[in-house]
């Protein structure tokens, strides 16, 4: 399906929301209660400096954050709050590794923290709260 290398230990996403499709083929894994996603920064979602656009990075972080709170593919969640700090740029072509760690999942709310890394260097950290609509 994809024309890019699948990162070791990851599976290719076959069902994604339309706005995420524009960010390129995505990959995922769950490990130790955490959700990991991987995408390659692409030209279509770059800024004038040749780096991944901050909005694209935030969309990937939000998507991973919400996915980490979902119990199964039929769960529904929505973002209540989201915060992020940009620490370094990600050049086009870089492999972005997004990690989301649920710190608490209740009956109706989930609290998540995470980061995006490129070559083991943190480029963005994020956190937020999601509303659990359906489990």
Contact 29, 9 (CB under 8 A): yes
Q: What domains sit in the chain, N to C, each tagged with a CATH number?
A: 11-134 (3.10.129.10)
pLDDT band for 4, please (50, 70, 90 cuts): confident
Tokens of 105: 């999942």
What backbone phi and psi angles, to 5 degrees, belong to 90? -120, 115
| Residues 102-120 pLDDT 10s | 999 999 999 999 999 999 9
Contact 57, 109 (CB under 8 A): no
Whole-number average pLDDT of the chain: 93
| Residues 18-54 pLDDT 10s | 777 788 889 999 999 999 999 999 999 999 999 999 9
How many other CB atoms are there within 10 angstroms of residue 77's CB atom? 21
The pLDDT, as a whole number, for residue 2 is 47
**What proportion of the chain, given as a percentage, has pLDDT over 70?**
97
**What proportion of the chain, given as a percentage, has pLDDT over 90?**
81
pTM of the model: 0.92
């Amino acid at each position: 399906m994809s024309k890019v290398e699948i990162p070791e230990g990851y599976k290719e996403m076959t069902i994604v929301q339309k706005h995420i499709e524009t960010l390129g083929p995505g990959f995922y894994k769950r490990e130790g209660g955490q959700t990991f996603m991987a995408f390659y920064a692409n030209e279509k979602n770059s800024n004038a400096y040749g780096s991944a656009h901050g909005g694209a990075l935030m969309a990937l972080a939000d998507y991973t954050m919400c996915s980490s709170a979902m119990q199964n593919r039929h769960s529904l969640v929505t973002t209540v709050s989201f915060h992020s700090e940009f620490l370094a740029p990600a050049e086009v072509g870089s492999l972005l590794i997004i990690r989301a760690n649920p710190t608490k999942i209740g009956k109706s709310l989930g609290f998540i923290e995470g980061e995006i890394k490129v070559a083991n260097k943190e480029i963005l950290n994020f956190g937020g709260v999601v509303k659990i609509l359906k489990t």
